[in-house]
């Protein structure tokens, strides 16, 4: 027997406080989501709800509008409804759900009446069941408080009646009126996650992804904050839809004053039609509150690091051979690359596109997942044996969801190509999309991949996805198939990992077009961008870490001349930029000079020495007003050490930039700050006096204005100050030519 749920729930974790109102049997509504409000009395849940009710204004409904996690039209809410759908003929399009059960963890709350307050702390899962008898629909809302204070919610909609077409399901969080500025992201191939700010006005700020994948231009995280919020300051409320297919992020401000942010899956027409007894479950919608963008980012990082499948900080240094050889797979050359990499301390070797079928170029062979015998007469064994014999892991590139029409599989099964309207979709990258929603197609791809994994000692898959989904229907009917394709991709990743425990997967999609927490439930790394130009990567890394912990972010040292922009950069800038992620190399090492290899080895050794800090510390990005400099770093969780990077990315209109602060240090401890350099000085280096070398010192005379001069790193003694002084006042930075960077090591004294 069910009873009407009638209580409020207070949830606290890591300084974040959420109060949910479930009184009167109505769907849960967020009364408060933000900073901890302190201790409550037994009646405070109802009082908090009461004190938020606005007076009845002229020419609006005669009852206060209550906005639930799944907003309902019947309440008088005239913003975007949480559920849009209908039966044939238009019935059940407006629902009125009544809650019937509340579970905390797996335990049902027996006493759910009386309007009391239930207080909980720490990570917890709440599930609320509800039903609309007239509409013949049932609903389960799950609300989870995660480690670090991030919350997430999703809905499961069940159908008890005739066929019900689900058009849209979004979940929404109310945001207080002080939040009047929007920040989200856009981008394109080779320049992902470009931040965009704008005022939050009356109306809807809507970001829809209709590419069948997350997209290089995805909103990623939608933030609402107090005007002028920064990395360090200002209250911010943010949402992220954890889904790798079509999706929605939105912020809405009504003329009546209410404002919400939310998201969900974007469903194509009749993509989800529930027959009697069937159900649809939405993706997770994640939400984070923080003071400053760094606080929001760290909350996401702490949640990610709490997951049992999360990789350790001992991320292996990786060589990917794509930019070294492209499609030219020559065994002696590839073995020479492996030998050079192993000699530098590289720990993982990845063979990219071109090893299978007729794949000598990008117009043929995609989808034929058998080793090309004309290129590899003995299979991949000679290369795999050479790589593993050198002590490295072996990784392999796949693009399981795609196909060239010039392939055996497309010729044998043209109906496996996603299409609608009796036509093929427009080509992109000379390829089409294989429909993993067709069971036979899914089984073919799965079995082909498992055959390769069973035969070879493969520890890692680079999983690519190089085109948007256009006209993505299931033949012959042409019914939309993006929803099923996304679920099938997740299922395939899970099956491969179950069959090969320990297998790691990198999410690559034309670079960084599949970066979301949905795919990160099944993968261990994302490829940020196909552009490895360090000047571009300075910004892409800075903003990718707004959602992802650095250890999940592939960050490579490329060749001196960027293959995507044509710019040339010294190894110093390339290496310092790549250190603050999962370090890799994308460079033909057989063409590197002996001095370059020696310096590269030192950078790898430096990464290996500090990767516990680099990949396990707390992110900090410094608010510095001059855009010619990018400053950021990581802090040890116990604040015993930190590494900061100061990168010159342009020329300023002023000669000297003043002090740069090192935020986040323990104000009560003392620290020594030392520039961390290798064999060569960055171009244009002019050290400040606090480095500990007098202005007449030969060291200064040698390096001032002259790059590439041999240095003894110990010559710079650094300075010792309190954490309060370093955080609040800072230090004058060395001058550098543009496109160069310096590392600063901050160590607690004693």
**Distance of alpha carbon 212 from alpha carbon 425, whole angstroms:** 13
Q: Is residue 45 part of a domain?
A: yes
Digit-coded pLDDT (tens) for 555-568: 999 999 999 999 99
Residue 544 near residue 573, CB atoms below 8 Å: no
In the three-class reduction of DSSP (H, G, I as helix; E, B as strand; rest coil), residue 735 is classed as strand
Q: Does residue 705 share a domain with residue 665?
A: yes
DSSP 8-state assignment for residue 71 = -
Q: 464, 468, 516, 524: which is the annotated catalytic residue?
A: 464
| pLDDT value for 64 | 87
Q: Is residue 438 part of a domain?
A: no
Average pLDDT, the chain: 94
Q: Does residue 340 share a domain with residue 286?
A: no
Least confident interval from 164-178, 572-586, 684-698: 684-698
Q: What is the mean pLDDT of residues 171-181?
A: 97
- In the block, tokens 């200002």 appear at 234
| pLDDT value for 554 | 98
Q: Does residue 227 share a domain with residue 80?
A: yes
Digit-coded pLDDT (tens) for 329-360: 999 999 999 999 999 999 999 999 999 999 99
Digit-coded pLDDT (tens) for 312-328: 999 999 999 999 999 99
Judged against a pLDDT cut of 80, whether residue 53 lies above it is answered with: no
Question: In the chain, pLDDT over 70 holds for what percent of residues?
Answer: 96
Residue 149 exposure: Cα atoms within 13 Å on the Cβ side? 22
The CATH number assigned to the domain holding 135 equals 2.70.98.60
| pLDDT value for 428 | 97
Digit-coded pLDDT (tens) for 206-247: 999 999 999 999 999 999 999 999 999 999 999 999 999 999
Q: Does residue 353 share a domain with residue 328?
A: yes
Q: Does residue 646 share a domain with residue 592?
A: no
**Distance of alpha carbon 370 from alpha carbon 352, whole angstroms:** 14
Q: Is residue 446 part of a domain?
A: no
**Distance of alpha carbon 643 from alpha carbon 511, whole angstroms:** 27
Angle between helices 439-455 and 482-499 (to 10 degrees): 30
**Distance of alpha carbon 311 from alpha carbon 307, whole angstroms:** 9
Q: Does residue 513 share a domain with residue 660?
A: no
Q: What is the mean pLDDT of residues 501-521?
A: 98
Among 616, 511, 497, residue whose Cα is nearest residue 554: 511
Q: What is the mean pLDDT of residues 281-305?
A: 98
Digit-coded pLDDT (tens) for 442-455: 999 999 999 999 99
The CATH number assigned to the domain holding 655 equals 2.60.40.1180
Q: Does residue 230 share a domain with residue 256?
A: yes
From 306, 335, 355, the end of a domain falls on 306
Judged against a pLDDT cut of 90, whether residue 705 lies above it is answered with: no
Confidence of residue 696 (pLDDT cuts 50, 70, 90): very low
Neighbours of 194 (CB within 10 A): 14
Q: What is the mean pLDDT of residues 272-286?
A: 98
Q: Is residue 487 part of a domain?
A: no
Terminus-to-terminus CA distance in the chain, angstroms?
64
The CATH number assigned to the domain holding 544 equals 3.20.20.70
Q: Does residue 87 share a domain with residue 153?
A: yes
| pLDDT value for 338 | 98
Q: Is residue 440 part of a domain?
A: no
Q: What is the mean pLDDT of residues 88-92?
A: 90
Q: Is residue 301 part of a domain?
A: yes
**Distance of alpha carbon 536 from alpha carbon 401, whole angstroms:** 29
| pLDDT value for 713 | 45
User: Which tokens in the block code for residue 73?
Assistant: 């039209």
In the residue annotation, 44 being an active-site residue is answered as no
**Beta bridge pairs of residue 643:** 634, 745
Q: Is residue 104 part of a domain?
A: yes
Judged against a pLDDT cut of 60, whether residue 710 lies above it is answered with: no
Question: In the chain, pLDDT over 90 holds for what percent of residues?
Answer: 89
Q: What is the mean pLDDT of residues 459-482?
A: 98
Q: What is the mean pLDDT of residues 35-54?
A: 80
In the residue annotation, 623 being an active-site residue is answered as no
Q: Is residue 186 part of a domain?
A: yes
From 251, 276, 306, the end of a domain falls on 306
Judged against a pLDDT cut of 80, whether residue 2 lies above it is answered with: no
Among 684, 741, 698, 689, residue whose Cα is nearest residue 718: 689
Confidence of residue 61 (pLDDT cuts 50, 70, 90): confident
Angle between helices 534-544 and 571-579 (to 10 degrees): 10
Q: Does residue 628 share a domain with residue 607?
A: no
The alpha carbon dihedral of 380, 382, 383, 385 has a sign of positive
- In the block, tokens 């990198």 appear at 506
In the three-class reduction of DSSP (H, G, I as helix; E, B as strand; rest coil), residue 381 is classed as helix
Confidence of residue 458 (pLDDT cuts 50, 70, 90): very high
Q: 6, 21, 468, 530: which is the annotated catalytic residue?
A: 530
Phi, psi (rounded to 5 degrees) for 604: -65, -45
Q: What is the mean pLDDT of residues 10-31?
A: 96
From 617, 652, 687, the end of a domain falls on 617
Q: What is the mean pLDDT of residues 266-271?
A: 97
Question: Domain of 651?
Answer: 622-748
| pLDDT value for 46 | 76
Specify the higher pLDDT residue, 679 or 235: 235
Judged against a pLDDT cut of 90, whether residue 417 lies above it is answered with: yes
């Amino acid at each position: 027997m069910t009873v009407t749920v009638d209580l409020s729930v207070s949830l606290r974790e890591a300084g974040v406080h959420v109060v949910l109102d479930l009184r009167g049997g109505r769907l849960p509504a967020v009364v408060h989501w933000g900073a901890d409000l302190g201790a409550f009395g037994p009646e405070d849940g109802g009082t908090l709800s009461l004190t938020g009710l606005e007076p009845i204004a002229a020419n609006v409904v005669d009852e206060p509008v209550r906005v639930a996690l799944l907003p309902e039209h019947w309440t008088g809410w005239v913003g975007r409804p949480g559920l849009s759908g209908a039966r044939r003929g238009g019935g059940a399009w407006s629902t009125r759900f009544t809650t019937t059960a509340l579970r905390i963890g797996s335990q049902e709350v027996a006493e759910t009446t009386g309007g009391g307050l239930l207080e909980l702390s720490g990570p917890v899962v709440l599930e609320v069941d509800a039903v609309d008898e007239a509409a013949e629909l049932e609903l389960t809302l799950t609300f989870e408080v995660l480690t670090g204070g991030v919350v997430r919610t999703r809905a499961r909609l069940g159908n008890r009646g005739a066929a019900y077409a689900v058009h849209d399901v979004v979940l929404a969080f109310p945001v207080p009126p002080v939040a009047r500025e929007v920040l989200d992201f856009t981008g394109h191939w080779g320049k992902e996650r470009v931040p965009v700010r704008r005022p939050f006005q009356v109306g809807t700020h809507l970001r829809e992804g209709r590419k069948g994948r997350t997209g290089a231009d995805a909103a990623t995280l939608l933030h609402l904050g107090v005007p002028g919020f920064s990395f360090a300051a200002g209250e911010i409320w943010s949402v992220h839809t954890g889904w790798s297919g079509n999706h929605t992020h939105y912020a809405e401000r009504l003329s009546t004053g209410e404002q919400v942010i939310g998201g969900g899956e974007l469903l194509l027409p009749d993509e989800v039609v529930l027959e009697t007894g069937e159900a649809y479950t939405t993706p997770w919608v994640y939400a984070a509150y923080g003071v400053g963008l760094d606080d929001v980012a760290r909350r996401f990082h702490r949640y990610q690091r709490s997951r049992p499948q999360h990789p350790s900080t001992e991320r292996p240094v990786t060589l990917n051979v794509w930019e070294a050889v492209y499609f030219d797979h020559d065994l002696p050359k590839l073995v020479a690359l492996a030998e050079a990499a192993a000699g530098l301390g590289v720990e993982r070797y990845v063979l990219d596109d071109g090893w299978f079928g007729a794949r000598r170029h990008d117009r043929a062979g995609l989808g034929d997942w058998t080793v090309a015998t004309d290129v590899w007469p003995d299979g991949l064994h000679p290369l795999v044996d050479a790589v593993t014999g050198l002590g490295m892991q072996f990784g392999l590139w796949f693009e399981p969801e795609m196909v060239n029409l010039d392939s055996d599989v497309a010729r044998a099964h043209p109906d496996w190509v996603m299409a609608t309207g009796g036509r093929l979709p427009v080509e992109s990258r000379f390829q089409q999309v294989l429909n993993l929603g067709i069971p036979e197609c899914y089984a073919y791809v799965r079995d082909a991949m498992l055959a390769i994994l069973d035969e070879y000692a493969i520890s890692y898959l680079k999983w690519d996805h190089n085109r948007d989904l256009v006209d993505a229907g299931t033949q012959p009917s042409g019914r939309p198939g993006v929803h099923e394709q996304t679920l099938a991709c997740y299922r395939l990743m899970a099956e491969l990992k179950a069959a090969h425990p320990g297998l790691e997967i990198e999410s690559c999609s034309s670079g960084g077009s599949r970066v979301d927490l949905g795919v990160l439930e099944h993968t261990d790394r994302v490829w940020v961008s196909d552009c490895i130009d360090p000047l571009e990567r300075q910004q892409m890394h800075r903003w990718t870490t707004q959602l992802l912990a650095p250890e999940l972010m592939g960050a490579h040292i490329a060749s001196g001349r960027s293959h995507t922009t044509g710019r040339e950069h010294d190894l110093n800038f390339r290496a310092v930029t790549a250190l603050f992620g999962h370090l890799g190399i994308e460079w033909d090492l057989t063409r590197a000079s002996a001095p370059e290899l020696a310096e590269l080895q030192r950078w790898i050794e430096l990464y290996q020495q500090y990767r516990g800090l680099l990949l396990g510390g707390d992110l900090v990005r410094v608010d510095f007003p001059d855009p010619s400099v990018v400053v950021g770093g990581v802090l040890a969780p116990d604040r015993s050490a930190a590494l900061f990077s100061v990168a010159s990315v342009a020329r300023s209109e002023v000669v000297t930039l003043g002090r740069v602060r090192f935020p986040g240090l323990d104000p009560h401890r003392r620290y020594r700050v030392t520039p961390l350099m290798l064999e060569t000085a960055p171009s244009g280096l002019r050290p400040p006096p606090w480095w500990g070398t007098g202005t007449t010192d030969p060291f200064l005379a040698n390096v001032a204005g002259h790059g590439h001069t041999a240095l003894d790193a110990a010559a710079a003694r650094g300075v010792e100050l309190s954490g309060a002084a370093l955080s609040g006042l800072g230090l004058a930075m060395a001058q550098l030519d543009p496109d160069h960077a310096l590392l600063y090591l901050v160590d607690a004294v004693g």
